[in-house]
Chain A
Amino acid sequence: MSTQQPTDAEPNVETDADAESESESFTGTGLPRVEDHRILTGEAEYIHDVTPESCLHMALVRSMHAHAEIVDIDTSEAEDHPECELVLTAEDVKEQYNPMPTGIPEVETDDGVEPLEEWSLAGDVARFVGEPVAAVFATNRYVAEDAADLIDVEYDTKEAVADGMAAREDEVVVHESVGTNVIDGERIEFGDPETTFEEADHVVEGEYSWGRISGVPLETAGVVATYDDETDSFDIDCNIQLHTLVDDTIYETLGYDADDVRVNVPADVGGSYGTKIAIHRYCCLAAMASKELDRPIKFVEDRIENLQGGDMHCSDREYRMRMAVDDDGTMCGLDVWFVDDFGAFPRYPVNQVLKPLSVVTNSYAIDDVVYEYELALTNKTSQTAYRGFGVDPHIYALEMIVDEAAREVGMDPTEFRRRNLIEPDQMPYTLPSKNIYDSGDYPATLERIQEIIDDERDGGLLDPEVVGAKREEGKYRGVQPSVIIEPGVSGSDWTDRQRSDREELEGRSREEVAELPEHLRAELRADGTVRASLATDSSGQGHQTLVSQLLADELEILPSDIEVDYLDSVDAPTEYGSAASRMAVMLSGATVGVAERLLENAEELAADHWGVSSDGVQYRDGSVERVDGDDSLSLADLADIDADRDERLTQVSYNYDHPATDHEEFDEAFRRKFPVYPTAAFGANAPIVEVDVETGEVDILKFYTVRDCGTMLNPMIVEGQAHGGIAQGVGAALLEEFGYEDDGQPQAITLFDYLLPSIENVPEIEMEHTVTPSPYTETGAKGVGEGGMIDAPASIATSINAALDPLEIDEPADRIPVAPDHLRKKVRDADQ
């Protein structure tokens, strides 16, 4: 493989007309998106725009207590409201339906195995502020909320636990029958960490906190459920993410077969970033009422519901890191321990405590590793996925202990990092945790970002004179880069490790590994255009553009001759879908496959039509020609010829297998259910920060980044993903947190309290790319959806450490977000 030199920071952005007329290949160009027109004109239909005639609206009564017994629910006044059609409580739900599937369905206790159930509505006990206890259905949302206000719930409050570390003590237990809050955990050793830590010249230790954050898309969760009495089935329009994978959370709760619950996601979803994977509670409640009332039911979460009790917070971790390091600056061993506060129920993303294994030592060659976690329940809203899926806190904590180790051995932190980087000749590199980095030149990337920083030291933002003058004003500037990996294209088999017998995994054979492919369909239409159908959902990534671009190249036609739509959960097979930095790789592989099949069939059809052998025909530029030059058939002709056939050759589908399945080197990770992520995009950031020691505020003056995601299918979209991820990383590092009082009352329930970065908070981002294709994927592309959110927080934190280095503050960025009050306390403590 070849590594290109850094390209110009400007991506190759084409106008629609240029791209259509001049470009030889659409893939690799910044083709403007086909999604945009409908969005810009206001015509796009998001879930909140779906309002069937005669539909009723749902409002929820939510617990105001973090932990309380529900003594009584008086629904009579609400039921007397003339426009209220129905009230549901847990009693109704339990009578007819099932609990919602959870990530850890049962827990082994001293008394045997206890189920850990979560119901759509809380029954005897409310376990977090915002947990729904009753659902009200009425003519419109305003009235539904009026009626919800008329419901009187009598609570008997209990002591709550709202901190993961405190929860481990089990003084307050969130689920009494289970008897403990720590419902999962594992300690995994790779290599011989015990000896390494004993023999190393130094062992450094640090404790780091990652505050509870989430994606907080601008569009909240929403659903419209319609029950069909005749067929005893449901149509559920909603903005759930991964609707072909997680539809089981809906149909299992309802107690129906998958085929009787048609989950459909609009083409436009107002952002998800992982957070809408677990909105099934709303879908189920709306479906139940629709069946009861035989009318469509609509619900769109309001922002306060979303922030306080929307089942959508993410990682909330306390880390204890240890690193064994020798005098010569060699990182010898790594010991990771953390507790993740999952909130009241262990929902789907329990495996995000494991995903960091896919990048366990980041860009560093370290052979001996301990990885240990505890998953603790508390009286907070449950976790779901968020961009990075638990890798972002790991990389942050790891880079913090690397800073600490550099200090311990008295080495420049960049030089210390460089010495320990995985070298290009070690690629593909197998991590101790058995995942593999596919390709990349990490030292070159670190060198390039260092050059950029050096330029700023010469008359720029980091010029020693400027830095010195700023220090006089109490403003400390600094930057500290590192090379950070983005694991891409998750396999699916490992994701149920916590529901498997972990000891038995050691003897598991490769044949037992079941992977999910990516499904894609294409058909020729009568007018000669092509329709492709995605089996996944999108929330702003531009999948329709991407597929039309790739398919246009494969079929040698124009993107404008291709329309891309979406399949619902019944029409699509169960597959993984759009998450875990998968789509660039999986959709491009599926597109190449489906096009190949369509072309083969087109040739077969034409050969058959002319009565010649398949050698006598050739597909070129949107038509099939006879090799003897006598005739040709356009795509429209072929569709016409095919229309009368029983088995249609112009309608094809293709399942692209996960790219690691064909590579034996991944077998051990597959067998043992360790996270398999066969692409390693990487980058190095240089956020130049300025810390005001008087106020504790951090200003990022400029954010440089050098990134590599292999082949760029659409550089404009690649850069957009990086920009967005970095902006979310800025929010995570400096602004955002779902704080809680000790009694479990949430402190951030509006966007005045949960601070999303505005245009004033996100610095200018200057980006360069290198291109190191992946040897494992069809197009050389690597996953690219999560990188900025994974690497930006760690880079900002190390840069804050660097800025404050002259003040000898003990690990100033040991807590994320690095909020002003935290930094001020650090500065004050250092002064004393």
Chain B
Amino acid sequence: MSTDSTGDYDGPVTEEISVTVNGETVTAEVEPRLKLSDFLRNECGLHGVRVGCEHGVCGACTVQQEGRTVKSCLSYAVQADGMEIETVEGLAEDGSLHPIQEAFHETHALQCGFCTSGFVMATKELLEENPDPSREEIETGLADNICRCTGYQNIYEAVERAADRMEGGE
């Protein structure tokens, strides 16, 4: 059953990349086929990037790349070379939650939590573009993320509460 290594195998071809993740530069040798989501999770240790479908539907792996949300399962790490990435781990400062995280907590906008990083990141972009979104605008802004637990009701509440707080100058 077991086999020994034979032949002249040198291991996979790799490429050096340098990515700024949550403000810190990470340099690594990666295979060209390494997904950005796996790079962030396994090379950078950022487990808040969740992997739910790996085909761009569920949105659990949503991060910000150069200030825009992307689904990190849909691109390769090498494509992020030289770019800035922010993940959910970059939000809390000095141990206190970001107003969006705080609002999700207070309104019970998470249950199993597997989708939560993605929703928090999508909400961040939504509120950066539109500090006071209507229900319809929230719907459109968060339509690329799936939550299987909450039925979305409290996610509306969370986004509205976060919007109020952030407008208040936080």
Residues of A within 8 A of B (CB): 13, 15, 30, 32-33, 35-37, 39-46, 48-49, 51, 79-88, 92, 142-143, 215-220, 268-271, 273, 292-293, 300, 302-303, 539-542, 716-717, 719-720, 723-728, 750-752, 756, 758-760, 762, 764-765, 788
Residues of B within 8 A of A85 (CB): 2-3
Q: Nearest chain-A residue to B52 (Cβ)?
A: A218
Q: Which of A82, A217, A220, A752 contacts B57 (CB 8 A)?
A: A752
Known contacts A36-B104, A40-B88, A218-B58; A756/B146 CB under 8 A: yes
Tell me the minimal C-beta distance from B166 to chain A in angstroms: 16
Select the residue from A84, A717, A759, A762 with max chain B CB neighbours within 10 A. A759
**Which residues of B pack against A, CB within 8 Å?**
1-3, 5-7, 9, 12, 31, 33-34, 41-42, 46-55, 57-58, 60, 87-89, 91-92, 97, 101, 104-108, 110-117, 120, 135, 138-140, 142-155
- CB of A82 within 8 A of CB of B5, answer yes
Contacts of B47 in A (CB 8 A): 42-46, 48-49
Q: Is the CB of A82 within 8 A of B50?
A: no
**Complex interface: chain B residues within 8 A of A83 (CB):** 5, 9
Contacts between chains A and B (CB distance < 8 A), count: 198
- Contact partner, B148, options A39, A143, A215, Cβ 8 Å: A215
| A41 adjacent to B89 (CB under 8 Å) | yes
Please measure, in the bound complex, the distance between the C-alpha atom of A622 and the C-alpha atom of B111, giving whole angstroms.
31
Chain B residues near A86 (CB, 8 Å)?
1-2
**Residue from B7, B31, B89, B116 in contact with A39 in the complex, judged by beta carbons closer than 8 Å:** B116
B52-A303 in contact (CB<8A): yes
- Partner pick for B154 among A143, A219, A723, CB 8 A cutoff: A723
14 A–B pairs (Cβ distance < 8 Å), ordered by A: A39-B116, A42-B48, A48-B41, A85-B2, A92-B1, A142-B33, A270-B113, A303-B58, A539-B112, A720-B150, A750-B55, A759-B139, A762-B152, A764-B135
> 12 other contacts beyond A83-B9, A724-B149, with CB at 8 A cut-off?
A33-B108, A42-B49, A44-B47, A215-B148, A271-B112, A540-B111, A542-B111, A720-B150, A723-B152, A728-B148, A759-B143, A762-B151
Contacts of B51 in A (CB 8 A): 48, 300
- If A270-B114, A752-B55 touch, whether A41 touches B88 (CB-CB below 8 Å) is yes
CB atoms of A302 and B113 under 8 A apart: no
A300 neighbours in B (Cβ, 8 Å) = 51
Chain B min CB distance to A598 (Å): 29
Q: Are B120 and A40 in contact (CB under 8 A)?
A: yes
Chain A CB count within 10 A is highest, among B55, B88, B153, for B153
Chain B residues, Cβ within 8 Å of A759: 138-139, 142-143, 145, 147, 152, 155
- Determine the residue in chain B with the shortest Cβ distance to A30: B108
- Shortest C-beta distance, A90 to chain B (Å), equals 13
* Residues of chain B within 8 A of A292, CB atoms compared: 1-2
Contact A758 B143, CB 8 Å, known A39-B113, A42-B47, A750-B55: yes
Determine if A751 and B53 form an interchain contact, defined as CB atoms under 8 angstroms apart: yes
With a cutoff of 8 Å between Cβ atoms, the chain B residues found around residue A15 in the complex are 106
- Enumerate the 9 nearest inter-chain pairs by beta-carbon distance, A residue then B residue, closest first: A42-B48, A270-B114, A540-B112, A727-B151, A723-B151, A39-B113, A540-B111, A751-B57, A82-B9
B105 touches A142 (CB 8 A): no
Q: Which B residues are in CB contact (< 8 Å) with A726?
A: 151
B111 to A, closest residue via Cβ: A540
* A218 touching B101 in the complex, CB below 8 Å, given contacts A41-B48, A750-B55, A759-B155: no
Closest A residue to B33 using CB positions: A142
Q: Are B6 and A82 in contact (CB under 8 A)?
A: yes
Cβ of A724 and Cβ of B105 under 8 Å apart? no
| B133 CB to nearest chain A CB (Å) | 12
Q: Specify which of B3, B89, B108 lies most central, judged by the most chain A CB atoms within 10 Å of its CB.
A: B108
- Per the bound structure, the CA–CA distance linking A44 and B154 in Å amounts to 21
Q: Are A218 and B114 in contact (CB under 8 A)?
A: yes
